[in-house]
Amino acid sequence: MDHVVNLDGWRREHEPEELRLERAVMAVDACFEGRERSDVPEWAITEVFAIQGCISMDLLEDAAERAERLVRRWRRHDRRRRSG
């Protein structure tokens, strides 16, 4: 019998850190695109600073994880704003 492969998990195991980080940062950029500063939650800005700190200390895996988590949180935030 075939099994289902979790693509996110597979990518994390097989994708170079730099590529994973690049993909995550592009997703973060898309979240911020076209928004006024007043529309950006403070927690998102704080997280971007944390991501930059990870990158400056060459903690690329941590930076990628933070960026991916930021995008997931942002999408939940947007869904709640639109529905409520």
Domain enclosing residue 49, as ranges: 7-83
Residues in the chain: 84
For residue 6, what pLDDT is reported? Answer: 78
* The pLDDT value given to residue 57: 95
> What average pLDDT does the segment 19-26 reach?
93
**Domains: count for the chain:** 1
Residue 67 lies in a domain: yes
Does residue 36 fall inside a structural domain? yes
Both tokens assigned to 65: 């994880």
Helices (H), 2-41: 7-14, 17-32
Look at residue 2 and tell me if it is in a domain. Answer: no
Average of per-residue pLDDT across 49-61: 95
Does the residue 49 lie in any domain?
yes
Q: Which helix (H) or strand (E) holds 57?
A: none
The predicted structure's pLDDT at residue 9? 74
Question: What tens digit of pLDDT does each residue of 64-78 get?
Answer: 999 999 999 999 988
